[in-house]
Structure 1
Amino acid sequence: MVTAKARAVNGPDQNFRETEVTRRELDTTDVLIEIKFAGICHSDIHTAHGEWGEVNYPLIPGHEIAGIVSDIGENVTKYKVGDRVGVGCMVDSCGECENCREGEEQYCLKGNIPTYAGTDKYGEPTQGGYSTHIVVTEEFVLSIPDSIGLDEAAPLLCAGITTFSPLNHWNAGPGKKVAVVGMGGLGHMAVKIAHAMGAEVTVLSRTLNKKEDGLQFGAKSYFATSDEDTFTELAGTFDLIINTVSAKIDLNAYLSLLALNGSLVNVGAPAEPLEVNAFSLIPHRRSFAGSLIGGIRETQDMLNFCAEHNIAPNIEIISADDIDHAYKRVLDSDVKYRFVIDISTM
């Protein structure tokens, strides 16, 4: 077993503290990863603050993990010591249900095992990537292409796949008009990926403060949703809208921006319920949907796609001592566009 240095939180109103976590002995198909970088996701904050339900504290968050293989089980065939690898939002699933067999492990009918705040197949609580090491079964480890730096790769394991998957599923590409709601950690990745897929991209953000960035990332247009004229001007425009905002918004106003057969897909996960008027959907055969990360195969496809198209998140590297301050800055929308923890500071 490996004893890893980590940062944990003991309650919804507590600051992070130094701690240690014992990682399990390697099973025959397990991979031991020395973590180099871990991204900070808004999901980490929701969970640490207890906003998505009861949490079994102490909690070590982190599901945007990039590092190096430091040991392997005797039957591991996909990886060897020294390989550059990543781990995303889940570390296992039943592997037997229809969804798992289709490569959609995120929708495992028995429930996938999340990287943190879950219970693994050994009955132990899962603890995430704000730590120096993690043990994961090889089937849930991703290969990071050489052209992507490990620091930039970390956010791709959540923010990247969370936006890639719906864009891929709803066929964003040439001839499609795609709007991205929000220009944060998820939103800026959605813009870059949709543009690389060939779609015409528009950003819908509360203000125009990040307009220059949005256009640089590949957006053709950028509108402020605080301006009521935006919803009049863009009515019936988009084939697909990706909502990345983790707060309650007026979904009916955004649904009015969809063209015939258009879809609004939620990837942001606010704690509050969202309300949809049926007549926002019926008249133009519009759809309101959700999307949860991606399966392991699709996540690897995303990493390869980002390598091929030179796509990387815009990141700010922080030390482990700065996690609490980074959480505050995320809540204040004061980050461009993803915090990444340098695990060597753990």
Structure 2
Amino acid sequence: MLLRKMTYSLDDVIKEAELEFKNAKDSASLENSKARFLGKNGLITTFFKQLASLSIDDKRQQGIIFNNAKKRIEQMLVEKREYLQKMELDARNSNELIDVTLPGRGKMIGSIHPIMRTQERIEKIFRSIGFKVIDGPEIETDWNNFTALNSPLGHPARSMQDTFYLDFKDHKNDLPLLLRTHTSPMQVRYATNNKPPIKIIAPGKTYRVDSDATHSPMFHQIEGLWISEEVSFADLKGIYTNFLKCFFENDNLSLRFRPSFFPFTEPSAEIDMMFNDGPNRGKWLEISGAGQVHPNVIKNFGLDPEKYMGFAFGSGLERLTMLRYGISDLRYFYENDLRFLQQIRY
């Protein structure tokens, strides 16, 4: 009697599974039905649990019946699952069907980043007056970044609050490597391997521990160097004045050179600029640091300071870009907001 009752109940379960799988409208409802029949606490599992109370011969006989029923339900499940997956794929393909008769969508026109646009503009101006554009590594040695530029050990510029030092050491002098704090190391690299006259500009990324509306821990600089037997501070004033007039496309601006201090130049000056028209009219703006190259620096280049002299200057590309395009916050440059970047296309 027990075996006949179990066989009958099992047939009912198979019929019920077939009907429930047939009525499943999507994959989610089908998987719910699967759990009801084949899950850990499903109906088929309940039948297998009853085998524990049967004799060995009955277990063997009923086990075959239960396994066949389970395989039948699993086969129905696989067939229904494949059917639903095909239907869902067909529906998705139908919704995503491409109408080849529609006109093409225009490609979005990209633009050069404002800072890179400024850099290209500056390079073009200085190339037109005989300067060479050079580039180099952003990870620098202590010698190139500080010592050769007349900044000995203990100089404030070496402070951990200003400079990103690396754990790696420079194998030549056993001092740590660092992320360059200016592009002046390229002056050292070039001047020690080339004979005067030297006329170069070195644009690139630089790094200092600073971050606010007008400072960034990563920023861009462009530095210039001219060394020869006859160049003077007067050449610096003339070249930089004409550069700014070309860059801003404005002859109606004034410059002043304020005495200052930099370890790598002597005498040194801060260069301020004032527009004589427009929204920034009448306001002095600090634009660059400059000066006559210090004799110690020329000596570190491997040159004779009694024979050669020169001038150097350094300007922040972000500052020049902000002034040219009227940008108030330096952080806009690095937020990757297309609403901002698409405003400056020309």
TM-score, length-scaled by structure 1: 0.20
Higher RCO (Cα < 8 Å, 6 or more apart): 1
State which structure, 1 or 2, has the greater radius of gyration over its C-alpha atoms: 2
TM-score computed with the length of structure 2 as normaliser:
0.20
**Which has the larger helix fraction?**
2
- Which structure has more strand as a fraction of its residues? 1
